[in-house]
Amino acid sequence: MDDKEKAENVAPSGTGAQGERLEFTTEIRKLLDILIHSLYTHKEIFLRELISNASDALDKAHFRSLVEKNLRDPEIPLEIRLEVDKDNKVLTVSDTGIGMTRQELVENIGTIAHSGSLSFLQSVAQNQSKPSDFNLIGQFGVGFYSVFMVAKKVEILTLPADPNSGANLWCCEGGGDYTIVPSQKEKRGTEIRVYLKDEETAFLEINRLRDVVRHYSDFISYPIKLKGEQVNKLSALWSRASNEIKEEEYDEFYNYLAHTQEKPLSHIHLSFDAPLQFRGILFIPRTIPWDMRFELPEKWKGVHLYVKRVFIQADCEELMPNYLRFVRGIVESDDLPINISRETLQENQIIMKIRKSLVRKVLDHLETLSKDKADDYHQLWRNFGKFLKQGYRLDYENREKLAVLFRFNSSACKDEKELISLNDYVSRMLPGQTKIYYVSGEDRQAIETSPHLEIFRRKGIEVLYMSDPVDDFLCEDLRDYQGKQLAGIDQEDLALDDVKPRVQPEEQKEEKKPEQNVDVKDSDIESFLGFLKTTLHDRVSDVRISKRLTGSPCCLVSSKEAPGVGMQRFMKMMNEKYEMPKRVLEINRDNVLIQVLAKLYVAKPQAPALAHCCHQLLDNTLLLEGSPLDTRGMVPRLQEMMETLTQLLLKQ
Ligand code: ADP
């Protein structure tokens, strides 16, 4: 705490003996309004939130008592107490933790610090009628305010552990304002008095309270006492042997940690003795956690660090790389000093070693999951696959492990939901096939219109479909897998002659044969090719006869050195001035349109429609790929062609 803050705490400005009436921010007012009228079915989570805050306050007091001598009530037992007053319908949750100064009451309770709360509020308000969406309340962890789902009035009596600050009483009746009055409290800590609504008095029943505490807060590492009896088990789940822990216990621990009602997708129980000693439990969420969905990094519930049972830091970034930020859990080490600070954490060798083994453990676990529970793994991939792909760019050391985890849709999949691994692909490669082929595009449907796929279909060569925006980066980085080079199907010189197709009778039958064959000479095609080159010389680097096309009239191919087309599109999006490298236009000698155009060119080289057709052929190819193109020239050109065509038809 800095001096300015201390001074304010000694003499709270403008408070006076009568206290002060303060307004909530608009955001909090809206939040309160939603919570007070909430139809949420798990209102008991308010207790989880209050106990969790109490536990945090005890953690802070515990930690400070180890590094500072001067705290108030140094001998006081660290615990949480629940008390009921049936006559006045009051439930009290009290702790002997760090407490709050007047200023902290205003800052922590009177405002919402994080920016995404408004988007949350809006989404809840819009979806009030849909209970499933309304369950977001449980997931969002609205924290302290959830108490207003059951309370008509709440008081917070709090005395900070800092001996220079006095006690205060905060009170709110759910309206737009609250009061803070200087007060008296014998011992440090916080007492939350919940004046229950008439219909919520079940929370005064001891059995009900005991059940709720056991369900949501059994893992709290401080005693939770109800009528003098300790309700929680107190043993840290992660320090018990994994074979003695029931699945429900893991689930409940996850619910508590991640502030959610949902079961985790899976968990990893860690126990290392050498060379480092650390324990912990990591969870993989089943769906995208709310803090990630609403982009609230300040509310991130990542991996928490404990040292010798003392809580050190929530969401310890040093323990888990950014690309694994969906992993939630707790890690406890005995090898670190308790007074480790955020700054020193970054350079600490032990932390770095722990992080290394955590990453490896998580990646190995994901691989096992992908083998043993493919459906679960696919669900994980859909939610978090893009993070793992980002990891490939950042985590050089684990590239091999990451590549094994990648999943893609491919031409061999029956629909867009099916996913295959690179191992699946390699195991199915055809005799003579040396490369892993991919194509990028908006989605499966758009990709399948690509003329480049024709030769691959004909030969029965599988092609990976890359439709995630991060795939364009991934393809730049993922140069090869198991010694097989990755290659875009739009590259020039495909060299597929050596690939021996497996018998593909179905595919062969489906192949459309040209409806009619125009009697055209090779020399006509050659002359037309020359015309195309001159007409399009500003727009393409060359025009050639294609070996890959079997149906479409033409396609564009890139040089091997150029970045992938997806990457080029991205660069163009970022910088309008970026010049996409010119590509080679390949034309299909067997396509009727090409044949007719060639004949027309030889017969009437001056026909104005010819140049229009050349440009339109190219624009059609760009349109199909979803590449940017200048449409200004296209509309008048198409209009003119339509005019010519309709006049011709009229004359017939
Ligand atoms: P969160 O716990 O997610 O930060 P809350 O709305 O539950 O959000 O609490 C807001 C803040 O109020 C806490 O971060 C903490 O600083 C303070 N607070 C809440 N309850 C207590 C308590 N029992 N003791 C001390 N501080 C508390």
Give the type of residue at 316: C
Atom of ligand 1 nearest to the CA of 259: 3
Residue given tokens 């803090």 in the structure block:
291
Question: In angstroms, rounded to a whole number, what is the distance separating the alpha carbons of residues 20 and 530?
Answer: 87
Q: Is 161 in the pocket of ligand 1 (CB under 6 A)?
A: no
Residue given tokens 């924290």 in the structure block:
143
Ligand 1 centroid to Cα of residue 221, in Å, is 17
Q: Would you state the pLDDT for residue 108?
A: 86
> For the chain, what percent of residues have pLDDT higher than 90?
57
Ligand 1 centroid to Cα of residue 225, in Å, is 20
Residue given tokens 């597929």 in the structure block:
496
Name the band, by pLDDT with cuts 50, 70 and 90, for residue 544.
Answer: very high
Phi, psi of 235 (to 5 degrees): -85, 130
Q: Would you state the pLDDT for residue 4?
A: 39
DSSP 208-260: HHHHHHHHHHTT-SS-EEETTEE-S--S-GGGS-GGGS-HHHHHHHHHHHHT-
Q: Would you state the pLDDT for residue 116?
A: 54
| Residue 18 scores a pLDDT above 80 | no
Q: Would you state the pLDDT for residue 413?
A: 97
Name the band, by pLDDT with cuts 50, 70 and 90, for residue 515.
Answer: low
Phi, psi of 103 (to 5 degrees): -60, -40
Q: Work out the average pLDDT over 147-157.
A: 95
| Residue 10 scores a pLDDT above 80 | no
> For the chain, what percent of residues have pLDDT higher than 70?
88
C-beta of residue 490 within 8 angstroms of C-beta of residue 467: no
Question: In angstroms, rounded to a whole number, what is the distance separating the alpha carbons of residues 23 and 12?
Answer: 17
Ligand 1 centroid to Cα of residue 108, in Å, is 6
Q: Whose CA is nearest to atom 18 of ligand 1?
A: 53
Rounding to the nearest 10 degrees, give the CA dihedral for residues 281, 284, 289, 291.
Answer: 50
Q: Would you state the pLDDT for residue 354?
A: 94
| Residue 627 scores a pLDDT above 70 | yes
Q: Would you state the pLDDT for residue 538?
A: 93
Q: Work out the average pLDDT over 610-631.
A: 89
Pairwise pLDDT comparison (256 vs 207), residue with the higher score: 207
C-beta of residue 501 within 8 angstroms of C-beta of residue 430: yes
Structural tokens at position 35: 């919570």
Q: Work out the average pLDDT over 151-180.
A: 95
Using DSSP, state whether 20 is helix, strand or coil: strand
β-bridge mates for residue 558, sequence order: 491
Q: Work out the average pLDDT over 493-517.
A: 66
Question: With left for phi above 0 and alpha for psi between -120 and 50, is residue 89 left, alpha or beta?
Answer: left
Parallel, antiparallel, or unpaired: how do β-strands 167-172 and 20-23 relate? unpaired
Ligand 1 centroid to Cα of residue 107, in Å, is 10
Interacting residues of 162 by C-beta distance below 8 A, sequence separation 6+ = 1, 6, 9, 71, 72, 99, 101
Q: Whose CA is nearest to atom 3 of ligand 1?
A: 143
Q: Would you state the pLDDT for residue 294?
A: 66
Name the band, by pLDDT with cuts 50, 70 and 90, for residue 267.
Answer: very high
Using DSSP, state whether 419 is helix, strand or coil: coil
Ligand 1 centroid to Cα of residue 53, in Å, is 5
Atom of ligand 1 nearest to the CA of 95: 23
Pairwise pLDDT comparison (412 vs 111), residue with the higher score: 412
Element (H, E) at 103: helix 102-104
End-to-end, the C-alpha distance of the chain in Å comes to: 92
Q: How far is CA 207 from CA 91, 175, 213, 434, in A?
A: 14, 31, 10, 68
pTM higher than 0.85 for the full model? no
| Residue 209 scores a pLDDT above 90 | yes
C-beta of residue 332 within 8 angstroms of C-beta of residue 307: yes
Q: Is 109 in the pocket of ligand 1 (CB under 6 A)?
A: yes
Q: How far is CA 123 from CA 102, 128, 261, in A?
A: 32, 9, 18
Ligand 1 centroid to Cα of residue 144, in Å, is 7
Q: How far is CA 300 from CA 98, 306, 312, 572, 600, in A?
A: 22, 17, 16, 33, 66
Parallel, antiparallel, or unpaired: how do β-strands 177-183 and 167-172 relate? antiparallel
Tens-place pLDDT, residues 296-322: 665 566 899 988 777 788 788 889 999
Q: How far is CA 549 from CA 457, 501, 511, 552, in A?
A: 10, 16, 11, 6
β-bridge mates for residue 191, sequence order: 94, 157
| Residue 7 scores a pLDDT above 60 | no
Q: Work out the average pLDDT over 484-498.
A: 88
Q: Whose CA is nearest to atom 11 of ligand 1?
A: 108
C-beta of residue 95 within 8 angstroms of C-beta of residue 57: yes
Q: Whose CA is nearest to atom 20 of ligand 1?
A: 53
Q: Is 564 in the pocket of ligand 1 (CB under 6 A)?
A: no
Q: Whose CA is nearest to atom 21 of ligand 1?
A: 53
| Residue 560 scores a pLDDT above 80 | no
Question: In angstroms, rounded to a whole number, what is the distance separating the alpha carbons of residues 534 and 526?
Answer: 13
Q: Would you state the pLDDT for residue 217?
A: 79
Half-sphere exposure for 302 (CA within 13 Å, toward CB): 19
Lowest mean pLDDT among 124-133, 290-299, 615-624: 124-133
Q: Which domains does the chain have, with CATH numbers?
A: 3-230 (3.30.565.10), 242-403 (3.30.230.80), 407-509 (3.40.50.11260), 517-555+582-652 (1.20.120.790)
C-beta of residue 455 within 8 angstroms of C-beta of residue 550: yes
Mutate to test the pocket of ligand 1, among 35, 45, 51, 56 (most ligand atoms within 8 A of CB): 56
Tens-place pLDDT, residues 26-44: 878 877 887 787 767 778 8
Q: Work out the average pLDDT over 343-352.
A: 86
C-beta of residue 72 within 8 angstroms of C-beta of residue 109: no
Q: Work out the average pLDDT over 21-29.
A: 84
Q: Work out the average pLDDT over 321-332.
A: 93
Question: In angstroms, rounded to a whole number, what is the distance separating the alpha carbons of residues 375 and 388?
Answer: 18
Q: Work out the average pLDDT over 440-458.
A: 92
Phi, psi of 485 (to 5 degrees): -70, 145
Q: Is 53 in the pocket of ligand 1 (CB under 6 A)?
A: yes
Lowest mean pLDDT among 337-341, 397-401, 577-581: 337-341
CA geometry: angle 328, 331, 337, nearest 5 deg: 140
Half-sphere exposure for 80 (CA within 13 Å, toward CB): 29
Q: Would you state the pLDDT for residue 255?
A: 86
Lowest mean pLDDT among 7-16, 131-140, 592-601: 7-16
Ligand 1 centroid to Cα of residue 50, in Å, is 8
What is the average pLDDT score of the chain?
86
| Residue 8 scores a pLDDT above 70 | no
Q: Would you state the pLDDT for residue 301?
A: 67
| Residue 505 scores a pLDDT above 80 | no
Q: Would you state the pLDDT for residue 288?
A: 87
Q: Is 94 in the pocket of ligand 1 (CB under 6 A)?
A: no
Ligand 1 centroid to Cα of residue 223, in Å, is 19
| Residue 17 scores a pLDDT above 50 | no
Using DSSP, state whether 168 is helix, strand or coil: strand
Interacting residues of 227 by C-beta distance below 8 A, sequence separation 6+ = 206
Q: Would you state the pLDDT for residue 629?
A: 81
Ligand 1 centroid to Cα of residue 156, in Å, is 11
Q: Would you state the pLDDT for residue 128?
A: 54
Ligand 1 centroid to Cα of residue 170, in Å, is 13
Nearest residue to 363 (alpha-carbon basis) of 333, 339, 387: 387
Q: Would you state the pLDDT for residue 189?
A: 98
Q: Would you state the pLDDT for residue 6?
A: 36
Q: Is 143 in the pocket of ligand 1 (CB under 6 A)?
A: yes
Pairwise pLDDT comparison (642 vs 235), residue with the higher score: 642
Tens-place pLDDT, residues 219-266: 788 999 999 899 987 778 898 899 999 999 999 889 888 878 889 999
C-beta of residue 485 within 8 angstroms of C-beta of residue 434: yes
Question: In angstroms, rounded to a whole number, what is the distance separating the alpha carbons of residues 572 and 565?
Answer: 10
Q: Whose CA is nearest to atom 23 of ligand 1?
A: 54
Phi, psi of 268 (to 5 degrees): -125, 120
Ligand 1 centroid to Cα of residue 492, in Å, is 61
Tens-place pLDDT, residues 123-134: 666 665 554 444
Q: Work out the average pLDDT over 183-210.
A: 96
| Residue 114 scores a pLDDT above 60 | no
Name the band, by pLDDT with cuts 50, 70 and 90, for residue 336.
Answer: confident
Question: In angstroms, rounded to a whole number, what is the distance separating the alpha carbons of residues 63 and 272?
Answer: 24
Q: Is 57 in the pocket of ligand 1 (CB under 6 A)?
A: yes
Mutate to test the pocket of ligand 1, among 50, 62, 108, 112 (most ligand atoms within 8 A of CB): 108
Ligand 1 centroid to Cα of residue 217, in Å, is 16
